[in-house]
Amino acid sequence: MGAEKEKAVVSGYDFDLVKQGLDQDQVTSVITSLNNLIESLKKENEQLKSREDHLLSLARLAEKVIIEADIVAADIKKLLQSLPYIDDIECSSDQEKELPTYLVRTKSTDIAGFQYS
């Protein structure tokens, strides 16, 4: 059997020592692996940045939708509060009293879950 080659450890990588330093093939292999890892991490980083941008855009959109929904809800509440109570309207029949319920509110019913004061 041949004599065991001397080894050198550089940043956790084992290299055979040869006459002129470290084994060139092993160094090339490690450098190639590290370059591939760097390229893979760069691509992953770009994908994550793109996802982050998309999520930030969605968050801004959600904030705008919530603000608009609050404004619309307040407008609807004002509109509904301005409508007369059906109980206060003189109707000639029960059928007429039922027809406009989508336009007026009743004292006994909350419309769309709004509480009226």
Domain boundaries, the chain: 7-68, 83-117
Q: What is the mean pLDDT of each run of 10 residues along the chain (117 residues)?
A: 78 91 94 97 97 96 96 88 65 54 51 48
Q: Which two structure tokens, joined as six digits, stand for 3?
A: 């004599």
Predicted pLDDT at 115: 47
User: Using CA atoms, how far apart are residues 55 and 61, in angstroms rounded to an integer?
Assistant: 10
CB-CB neighbours of 14 under 10 Å: 11
Which residues are paired to 105 by β-bridges?
85
What is the DSSP-derived secondary structure letter of residue 5? P
Q: What is the pLDDT of residue 77?
A: 85
Dist CA 100 CA 94 (whole Å): 11
Residue 96 confidence (pLDDT)? 52
Burial of 24 (0-12, 13-18, 19+ CB in 10 A): exposed
